[in-house]
Amino acid sequence: MANKDAAMRKRAQIAKANRTMFIWVAVISVIVGFALVGSIFLTQKLFFNEKVLAEKDKTIATLKADNNNVSALEAQVRVLDTNQALIDAKAKPTDQAIQVILDALPSDANSLALGASLQDKLLSGISGLTLVSLQVDPVVGVETSSTDLTVQNASPVTTGDQNQITFRFSVKGSDASLKEALTRLERSIRAIDILSLKIESQNGTRLMTVEARAFYEPARTVGLKDKVIKP
């Protein structure tokens, strides 16, 4: 009987030891699992922070480079302000010389201003020259219809080029006056590309019909923006 009781106590002790071992294994497994998940999370967080710091370093480098270029840019602008050719081409005495460069390639498609410049400046005041007709096409999709005097509705530009304003005009006069008109177009601060030119004799005078185009360049915006960095 004593042997039987001893055997039962041994079995009970073994079962208790197994339960204790199982509990410890389960607890250690949970701890290891939490540690593994925490390690993975911390590793991902570390890599994410490294990506953020790398982007910040790029931003700082860009800002430093831009700040270093400011002085050189200001010096170039001051040199341009003393350029005699630009000073002579100023539209107004109060304008800065660099304004001539901005006027040469406007930032918006102002076809009315181009028509007024052609009518009042480039084709005006030439001895023996008479302006017969002038038409400036509004930029399709950018401008709306303007007055019927100088701008008429036109079909979309089919040349495939962007940022351009097409126009056409007819003038009559002597050979010298026609040549002077072409010379003014050539010397204009705006880039003018003549697409076609036709000269006819009409009642003892010359009639010249010109189709051309001028250009503009939309303004660029420089500024800081937010960038989202994903983990």
Query: Average pLDDT for residues 49-70, to the nearest whole number?
Result: 86
- pLDDT, position 167: 95
What is the tally of structural domains in the chain?
Answer: 2
To which residue do tokens 């006027």 refer?
103
CA–CA distance, 196 with 211 (Å, rounded to integer): 5
CA–CA distance, 57 with 10 (Å, rounded to integer): 69
DSSP string of 168-202? EEEEEE-HHHHHHHHHHHHH-SS-EEEEEEEEEEE
144 contact partners, CB below 8 Å, separation of at least 6: 138
Q: Does residue 26 surpass a pLDDT of 90?
A: no
Domain match, 75 and 106 both: no
CA–CA distance, 190 with 140 (Å, rounded to integer): 21
Tell me the residue length of the chain: 231
* End position of a domain, from candidates 26, 53, 81: 81
The model carries a pTM of 0.58
Query: Average pLDDT for residues 197-218, to the nearest whole number?
Result: 90
Tokens of 85: 């050719």
Mean model confidence pLDDT for the chain: 82
Range of the domain at 185: 99-215
Domain match, 122 and 207 both: yes
Domain match, 205 and 109 both: yes
Domain match, 13 and 39 both: yes
CA–CA distance, 1 with 24 (Å, rounded to integer): 35
